[in-house]
Structure 1
């Protein structure tokens, strides 16, 4: 089992590495075509930091199609990543820096995030999320993305001064493709070894997803949050974490479900999903009180996350 754990960690490292490569290459391509910073943030940064979850879902759904039902691991990874982001990572940043949030952001984006969680819960009530429901999740995400970026898609078209740097465009496109290929292979590696760990430790695959893989796939968001901390940019940190908590349930989960459909266990339906929603509501209440997240609030979030993890690992499994 130690070998599988080691291979799992190696796989997650390459998932993270490939995601970084994709984000870097995409940023260069976006700059070449003069995509606005707003649209870049809503697409490349939000989707880019969710690439580990997207890759895990694709790899898991392909295994489901092959007859190996790892739905619990896939959904658990999604929930685990989202929960650690909205509590532990936000708590870490908030402990060292005062995080402020505008009412408009809470009223629109944050409420949409909560609605996304509720939608996934409703789709899960019959213990199965169908391909049709996966299509709806992805469609809703694309509509949301269009609504946010419709006014700032392009600034002024292609900058003709960049045409002489066409080789740079080809190079970054090449790195983008390489990154995607590595991401898919590494994600498949993570799913395979995560399933073997669950079998070897005699625990549910959803527990492996919620804990080990969920935390691992949240590394890009953690890295982004730490960069925001260094730059004293609390808004970027909160925006990326909330954006990822919208992208993961709608796009990442939606893509996986669209490929194969997922079965939903009682543990995920009645414990993990409600806890994720509860944690998100707690964050909203704490921030909405004074339009900011204080150090005390951050300690509360960290405590709640470790309480949930302890309960999940030692009681539910």
Structure 2
């Protein structure tokens, strides 16, 4: 029964994240927040909501390896699997903001996460508060920067604002509530399913969380980025992925540790962290050194191969 619920949980997390994305973007546009900020903050946050719900549920159950494994595995999946597939579909162009601000902030967030993990072996209440405060400062900075650079609305933004205004407010709120419910129950089914599969194949929670759980919670990012690629909106695709990775570290780990301290029980998780850092360094080489200001189809394929190699060594 748990195995069936495990499969059902993927569907619930996917549709829960999708409903939350639609409703959150519609509400944000109603408040006339620019699409740039919506993509980097609102969409990134809601596509990271499955990771948040799964991490909180795992921590409350004392399964902190799932919490860490979920975040690390999801970040690796976002950089290599999701971005790799997206770049194969359509070459990803990199904006100046991504080069100068977003990517460096993601890299620094990863370094901060690893430093705390290495020095203390856990993320406690105080560290969690610091993580969340850093996220708030970064978000406010993005909003301020967006308002300074986009004083005039583009025709595309005006069209999106008008479309959002026509969407009934009750509908957006209802979608948001249904999405949250699907995420809550989906995360519970997923955590229970992970324990069952781990017992069945005699795998530890870390392996299942870094692989299966991470892929499951990355489904919203995959769906959003692929749709953006097909629509040739590469800015949304790369912005969503980098934003999601920042939120995974600062929001998911930060909020979870405020609710319940997260202690690293399995030292192999630090090996997984090194894989994550390797993936972000490779992406950095693609952006800054090899094919500047873009991720080509060939580089997308290399990122995908990296993920396959990571899975091979994991199991």
The answer for the alignment partner of 1:179 in structure 2 is 179
Aligned pair 1:294/2:287, yes or no? no
The answer for the alignment partner of 2:123 in structure 1 is 129
RMSD: 2.3
Match of 1:56 among 47, 54, 57: 54
Aligned pair 1:75/2:68, yes or no? yes
The answer for the alignment partner of 1:150 in structure 2 is 144
Q: Distance in 2 between matches of 1:167 and 1:149?
A: 24
DSSP-derived class of the 2:203 partner: coil
Task: Give the unaligned 5+ runs of structure 1.
Answer: 64-68, 157-161
8 Å CA contact 1:36, 1:155 repeated in 2: no
Q: For residues 123-177 of structure 1, what are the alpha-carbon distances to aligned partners after superposition, in whole Å with 9 as ceiling and x for unaligned?
A: 1123222121111111111111111112547989xxxxx9xx8992233223322
The answer for the alignment partner of 1:267 in structure 2 is 268
DSSP-derived class of the 1:150 partner: helix
DSSP-derived class of the 2:170 partner: helix
Which segments of structure 1 move beyond 3 Å, counting only runs of 4 or more? Answer: 151-156
1:111-126 superposed matches below 5 A = 111-125=104-118, 126=120
- TM norm structure 1: 0.88
Q: Distance in 1 between matches of 2:314 and 2:179?
A: 34
Following superposition, the deviation at residue 41 of structure 1 comes to 1.9
Larger mean CA deviation between 118-127 and 28-37 belongs to 28-37
Larger mean CA deviation between 212-221 and 231-240 belongs to 231-240
1:1-317 superposed matches below 5 A = 3-63=1-61, 69-125=62-118, 126-152=120-146, 168-264=168-264, 265-269=266-270, 271-289=271-289, 290-291=291-292, 292-313=294-315
Task: Give the unaligned 5+ runs of structure 2.
Answer: 153-161
Cα pair distance change 1:222/1:210, threshold 3 Å? same
Q: Distance in 2 between matches of 1:42 and 1:234?
A: 13
Following superposition, the deviation at residue 283 of structure 1 comes to 0.7
The count of residues paired between Structure 1 and Structure 2 equals 300
Q: For residues 202-241 of structure 1, what are the alpha-carbon distances to aligned partners after superposition, in whole Å with 9 as ceiling and x for unaligned?
A: 1110111111010011111111111122112222211111
